[in-house]
Amino acid sequence: MTNTLETEVLAMLERGGMLTADTIARNLNTPPWRVSRVLHTLRRNGDAFRNRQAQWQISAGQRRPRRQAAR
């Protein structure tokens, strides 16, 4: 089950590719600590990963269909 912020972060990663947590927070007008929490939750679920430059992206093959992301 995803919450609204998780859905927004996933949507940003789908169209934005590799983004830092600060960039995502700035674009969503959300505190960076909240975005960081969501990103780590997505990482634990296998939906996203972080590279060595602290950039996040969606895991290969983990793109969710629209109807699941809207839940």
Q: Which of 21, 50, 26 is nearest to 37 (CA)?
A: 21
Distance CA 24, CA 68 (A): 21
Q: What is the pTM of this model?
A: 0.77
Identify the pLDDT of residue 14: 87
- Residues 50, 10: Cα–Cα separation, whole Å: 13
Per-residue pLDDT, 62 = 52
Q: What is the pLDDT of residues 48-66, one digit of tens each?
A: 999 999 999 998 665 544 4
Confidence category of residue 19, pLDDT binned at 50, 70, 90: very high
Give 45's contacts (C-beta < 8 A, 6+ positions apart).
Answer: none
Q: What tokens appear for 66 in the block?
A: 């629209």
Average predicted confidence (pLDDT) for the chain: 83
Half-sphere exposure (Cβ direction) of 9: Cα atoms closer than 13 Å: 31
Max avg pLDDT among 11-15, 21-25, 45-49: 21-25
